[in-house]
Structure 1
Amino acid sequence: MEAIEKHRGLVYPLNRANIDTDQIIPKQFLKRIERTGFGQFLFYHWRFDDDGNKRTDFSMNYPEYQNASILVAGDNFGCGSSREHAPWALLDYGFRVIIAPSFADIFYNNSLKNGIIPIQLDQEQVDQWMERAEKGTLTLDIDLKNQFIVDEADQKVHFDIPEYHKEKLINGWDDIALTLQHQDAISAYEGNLA
């Protein structure tokens, strides 16, 4: 997992609530066995028509949002099934941070385990940044270590994140990397079993 302590990025506003994992990555694209390559299918039915052409009426396809790496979305983001492919698709597309009033629990934890920072903020703050990003471009600076976000107006907003997950993200540790930190103890234990 790629370490992340600070991130500066362009915001893409997705002003919809209850976005479920099938909307994030439709089921027909879950046949891949690796974690990469899912970004091209992100929000597929919203981004593309039945012939695979980009829809001109979906804002994610607008030039001003290309290279966005921060997604600001509505309430209950990531609801639905527990598919881990949803954060894989978001990360593969280029999103490192998702800001919403609330997240589905499984999606929230899957995001943390895959290197995405899910930030829960109050509805008023989300609406403010959503509106600014819809009217023009908005860039945010995320400081994970100190747990705050600074916008272009120098407004500083604190956010909460469990210390355990914060440490893993800052160090780029997934669950396997954490286990391997105890390699000597594991080897000694296995040696005693022989």
Structure 2
Amino acid sequence: MQKFVRVHAVAAPLPLANVDTDMIIPARFMKALTRDGLGAHLFEELRFAPDGGERDDFILNRPACRTAQILIADRNFGCGSSREHAVWALTGFGIRCVIAPSFGDIFASNARKNGLLLIRLPDAVCDRLRRETELAQFAPIGIDLEAQHIALASGETIAFAVDADDRRILMQGLDDIGRTLRHTDAIARFEAAA
């Protein structure tokens, strides 16, 4: 899993509440056995018209946001089914962080396990961030997980808090297997004694 300490990147405003996992990655794209290529189908229904052409009005199709690594979303992002594919589609597209007032519980757990930083901020702050990002013509912003602050293009910083264990796991780049492998010697001693 890729470590997350700091990211300086374009943030794309997504002012939609209750974005469910099927909106993030439709079920028909979950037939693959690996996570490869899922990013191409991120927000499929929102990004593409029925004929396959891009929808010009969708934020990630705008030239300035095609390389966005940060989403500034609305309430209850990632609600719905427990599909881990939703996180894989986001990270496969290049999204490293989602800022929103709240997240679906299972989505949040899957995000932590896959290196996607979720930042919870109040509704009013998220609304302001979406507006200011657009007004700044999508100038990159900085996310510093170590210092737990967001640095806006204007120079303003906004503090956030992340669970200490989640913060450590993300900064060390440890997925569930990586955390287990840190205890290889203790596991070997236990097995030898059994």
TM over 0.5: yes
**For 1:18-167, what aligned pairs fall within 5 Å after superposition?**
18-135=18-135, 136-167=137-168
Aligned residue pairs total 193
Shift of 1:64: 1.5
Which AA in structure 1 matches 2:38?
F
Aligned equivalents of 2:116, 2:183: Cα separation in 1: 25
Aligned equivalents of 1:60, 1:145: Cα separation in 2: 28
Q: Structure 1 length normalisation: TM-score?
A: 0.96
Which AA in structure 1 matches 2:148?
Q
SS at match of 2:10: strand
- Give the equivalent residue in structure 2 for 1:176: 177
Which AA in structure 2 matches 1:171?
Q
**Identical pairs, percent:** 42
Displacement over 6 Å in runs of 4+: none
SS at match of 1:91: helix
The answer to whether the 8 A contact 1:36-1:92 is kept is yes
Unpaired runs of 5+ residues, structure 2, are: none
Aligned equivalents of 1:21, 1:56: Cα separation in 2: 22
Aligned equivalents of 2:2, 2:59: Cα separation in 1: 28
SS at match of 2:129: helix
The answer to whether the 8 A contact 2:11-2:133 is kept is yes
The answer to whether the 8 A contact 1:47-1:55 is kept is yes
- Give the equivalent residue in structure 2 for 1:4: 4
Shift of 1:59: 2.5
Shift of 1:131: 1.0
State the Cα deviation string for residues 17-60 of structure 1 (Å, max 9, x = none).
Answer: 00000000000000111122110000001111122221223232
Shift of 1:180: 0.6
User: RMSD of the alignment, in Å?
Assistant: 1.1
> Are 2:191 and 1:190 equivalent residues in the alignment?
yes
Q: Structure 2 length normalisation: TM-score?
A: 0.96
Shift of 1:187: 1.1
